[in-house]
Structure 1
Amino acid sequence: MSVLRNTLTQSSWTFGSRILGFARDLVILAKLGAGPVADAFFTALMFPNLFRRVFAEGAFAQAFVPAYARTMEAEGEEAARKLAEETLRGLLAVTVGLVIVAQVAMPWIMLLLHGGYRNDPVHFPLAILLTQITMPYLAFMALAALLSGVLNSAGRFGMSAGAPTLLNLCLLAAAFMGSDNYAVAQSLAIAVTVAGALQVALLWYGVSRQKVRLSIGLPKITPGVKRVAALAIPGTIAASGMQINIVVSQALASFEAGAKSWLYSADRLYQLPLGLVGVAVGLAILPRLARAARASDEGDSRDIMDNGIGLAMALTVPAAAALMAAPFLFVDSFFTRGDFTSDDAALTAQALFHFGWGVPAFVLIKVLAPGFFAREDTRTPMNFSLISVVVNTVLGAGLFFFLKSQGVYGFPGLAIATSTAAWINVILLFATLKRRDWYNPGPELLKRLVSVILASSALGALLWYLASISGQISEVALDSKFVGAIVISLAGAAAYLVFAVLFGAIRLSDMKGALRR
């Protein structure tokens, strides 16, 4: 199977999953609105989102897949199967243990994650119950990540890329069950755990078809498991920094009714470029960087990083410009329906604006970290990730309570803190790569970044104008705000392509070369 086919398979399923996820969120927000019940459910959804992003998109696979592939090359299929089985057993023991502890300790955990509702006799217990229902997804997601790694090592990408769509399908179905929003929230929580079980069942079937027979039993700490854990633990912490920052922000947001729902809605929009661009580029350049590092080819390493950063910024900076230029247009057009009102959209837009200028940093972290992973240094990104968590916590709490003391909403301060912490992480990663002579950007990259900023600024100005006349555009677009926003988005995408070519941010030859690779 060719690299192009693998990439297209992964990207197609990822894009499809994101579209389904977007539809899922439209329905959930319409059913739950923005309020205490929605805040309770989004608290319960924090853990599934955290572990999905950490295990499925984080460093666990980056540690396991190379170890599995090396073992297969050096010792054969049976040794690789044994490593997978030993890792699976250890992973299952750890995650099941965490789930059991969390189930018992959930009332106390909720004091940290949902403390603003601690005196609410209805909605605080609801958050505890919903999170207890969703917690088993942690164990299922860990197993799914390992099984996906086995399939990917065998060149099978379709099933592992398609499995996450089961979560979106289950949640979409569950959103229509229940007579009121309390019943809907419980149906949604049950659907999360059911989806996790279905994902594992599907991937287990896929692994069995590859004639890799795994079994569940008592864990053993073998040298192979130790090797995977030594790379995976710090690497996973490094990949978790942004997700931990989101959890911290959500915990602080519980002290403001509705804030969790507004932050979650903003999260769904700004996560789209991160998932489609940052993760994809980071995974694409890692193996090439590893080969260059083993060959001590610094020139090739620099070219790979330059190309990765240039491509990521050419696709991400315009997304940031769009989110900052017209945040209310996108939120109101896509999410306002049912119990989610235009007032909720206006408040969500405040958070989305501040997340917008952090989007390039969120993506750059995914692109710069492979510069360390390729040299088997997962501890340095972990340390910087932990620093960003401290910055986000201190700055977020300070801004949140300061703004509330001024008589205004405090949750925009949480978005400001998250974006600031991400940029500090980027600065630390880049400065360390440069100091160690692992990466020094070439002059062509600097010229390209200037071109990207100019093209994105032009796009932002255009979208700001189109947002100001969005009412007239909607009138001729089937009298629908949703259709009007789609028209404006397509017009912006076409305009950016023109601006990018004019300013030199994107060259057609580069796009063809990237596609061939």
Structure 2
Amino acid sequence: MLIKSIFTNSSGILVSRILGFLRDLLTASILGANIYSDIFFVAFKLPNLFRRIFAEGAFTQAFIPSYAKAKHKIRFSSMIFLQLIGFLIVLSLFVTLFSSLITKAIALGFDTKTVELAAPLVAINFYYLPLIFIVTFMAALLQYKHHFATTAFSTALLNLALIAALLISKGMDKYEITYYLSYGVLVGGLLQVLVHIIAIKNKNLCKIFTFKKHNKKEENRFYKSFLGATLGSSTAHISAFLDTWLASFLVTGSISYLYYANRVFQLPLALFAIATSVALFPMIARAIKNKDESKALNLMRKSSLILIALLSIATLIGIVFNNEIIWLLFERGAFNENDTSNTALILTMYLIGLIPYGLAKIFSLWLYAKEKQFLAAKISMKALGTNIVFSLIFIIPYEAAGLAFASTLSGFILLILTLKEFGMKNFKTLYFSKDSI
């Protein structure tokens, strides 16, 4: 079942990423690496950041263990949904009202004119967050039932919507194209919601929307775990956000170089590490709930060994052929040879950290399944602090490439600290003992 689930997730992610690269190819060709691509990436960065650390990673890591232990699952899940979607709608309205201030905060290096251009896009893109939370909520329930296909393949819908927006707006004013892209983000979110509603109906899970009276103790336990998981799953994503913020002080195009390089880096990370962790987590959570740690550790051993092999190959290929990869994917239209060279160097800096980031995802699942979210959060914050220090050290001499390398160093710190809490004795037993599980 584990291999089948990993394959399903990987297949869906691969389809989505192929479409994503096609989207990036069109974006690079039509917008290039300039002020217009920068403001769109900044506008999409904020909801994307919240989506990854709040709606997707943190929610799933806290919700599945709590849902597994809940005595009245329908009551528990329905009230959690109602409370969080209400909060996100209010937050989105707040961002709309104060979009200029929010934009200035996330891109301090932008001048007043650039902030004015970016602010409306920030407001539009942020409404993707409540949409994707609805998707994530339904996806968590489907994952608990060992159904991964809908979520894995539905991510392609966002890319299809953005590709359509680019093709429709091709030839228009570049600023107008950014509006088409922003509304394309919302269309993609709505399509993802639709296919998940269909899957929920087919799995007879529609009762989750009945909103019955709930158990306050179960709710409080979830939010305690959720707060810790939100902090704990944030390191890599806040690091990327920090890169964008600091890059706004560098030469025009730096934000775009970081974005394109990170997109390539995210392919093997998502295809192998994220696909594995998504499939593995419900199984580990169930095993821990049933007090079967041997089964949980055995699953982790098999998964991590496969992951090490796959990520090692991906790292080697990516570093050796970095320039060729960026040239093949992006060098056309407004994206020139100099853009390729700059992006390829940043890609190498990111890829050095591929293995530690991937393994940290696997071993952190042990902490989340045991509901040690605040311990994971403490580890995450230490790694983030390291990233901030290294970013400030490397940004002046190495500019955007220095920011990417700082992020990579924080990945090594994250892995080391996670393994320390997992237990080096357990780690050695898994891989080096004759009595390995």
TM-score for both structures, normalised by structure 1:
0.77
Deviation at 1:58, TM superposition (A): 1.1
Structure 2 CA distance for partners of 1:165 and 1:183, relative to 1, 3 Å? same
Structure 1 position 135, deviation (Å) = 0.4
Per the TM alignment, residue 284 of structure 1 is displaced from its structure 2 partner at its CA by: 3.7
CA distance in 1, matches of 2:154, 2:16: 9
Is the CA contact 2:100–2:119 (under 8 Å) kept in the aligned structure 1?
A: yes
Pairing of 1:67-466 with structure 2 (within 5 A)? 67-71=66-70, 75=71, 79-119=72-112, 121=113, 123-178=114-169, 179-211=172-204, 212-215=206-209, 222-256=216-250, 257-290=252-285, 293=288, 302-400=297-395, 402-403=396-397, 410-434=399-423, 438-444=426-432
- The CA distance in 2 between the partners of 1:288 and 1:152, in whole Å, is 10
Q: Which moved more, 1:296-305 or 1:143-152?
A: 296-305
Structure 2, unaligned runs of 5 or more: none
Q: Look up the equivalent residue of 1:316 and give its one-letter code.
A: L
Does the CA-based 8 Å contact 1:160-1:203 persist in structure 2?
yes
DSSP-derived class of the 2:109 partner:
helix
C-alpha offsets along residues 120-177 of structure 1, whole Å, 9 cap, x if unaligned?
x2x3212111111100111111111001122333443332222222111100000123
Unpaired runs of 5+ in structure 1? 404-408, 447-517
- How many angstroms apart in 1 are the aligned matches of 2:428 and 2:120? 51
Contact 1:89–1:218 under 8 Å retained in 2? no
User: AA paired with 1:61?
Assistant: T
**C-alpha separation between the residues in 2 aligned to 1:81 and 1:291?**
18
Verify the 8 A CA contact 1:55 1:145 in the aligned structure 2: no
Is residue 64–residue 140 contact of structure 2 (8 Å, CA) maintained in 1? yes
Matched, 1:10 2:19: no
Which structure has the higher relative contact order (CA within 8 Å, separation 6+)?
2
Q: Secondary structure at the match of 1:338?
A: coil
Change (3 A) 1:434 1:43: same
Paired residues in the alignment total: 430
TM-score (norm 2): 0.90
Q: Percent identity?
A: 28
1:57, distance to aligned residue in structure 2 (A): 4.7
Partner secondary structure for residue 372 of structure 2 = coil
- In 1, the alpha carbon distance for the partners of 2:356 and 2:4 equals 29
Counterparts of 1:485-496 in structure 2 under 5 Å? none
Deviations 1:43-68 (A, max 9, x none): 01212432343356513123223433
Whether the 8 Å CA contact 2:12–2:153 is kept in 1: the answer is yes
**Contact 1:9 1:158 (8 Å CA) reproduced:** yes
Following TM superposition, by how much is the alpha carbon of 1:107 offset from its aligned partner in structure 2, in angstroms?
1.8
* 2:39–2:117 CA contact under 8 A, matched in 1: yes
User: How far apart in 2 are the matches of 1:219 and 1:101?
Assistant: 29
Which residue identity is paired with 1:168?
N
Q: Secondary structure at the match of 2:190?
A: helix
Aligned-residue CA RMSD (Å): 2.6
CA–CA separation in structure 1 for the residues paired with 2:51 and 2:332: 28
The change in CA–CA distance for 1:284 and 1:184 in structure 2 (over 3 A counts) is same
Q: Distance in 1 between matches of 2:215 and 2:339?
A: 51
Q: Tell me how far apart the structure 1 counterparts of residues 234 and 224 of structure 2 sit (CA, whole Å).
A: 16
Query: Structure 2 counterpart of 1:184, which letter?
Result: I
Q: Give, in whole Å, the separation in 2 of the partners of 1:434 and 1:217.
A: 41
* Distance (whole Å) between structure 2 residues aligned to residue 340 and residue 16 of structure 1: 24
Given that residues 260 and 343 in structure 2 are in contact (C-alpha distance below 8 angstroms), is that contact kept between their aligned partners in structure 1? yes
Deviation at 1:442, TM superposition (A): 4.2
CA distance in 2, matches of 1:440, 1:111: 48
Q: Counterpart of 1:208 in 2: which secondary structure?
A: helix
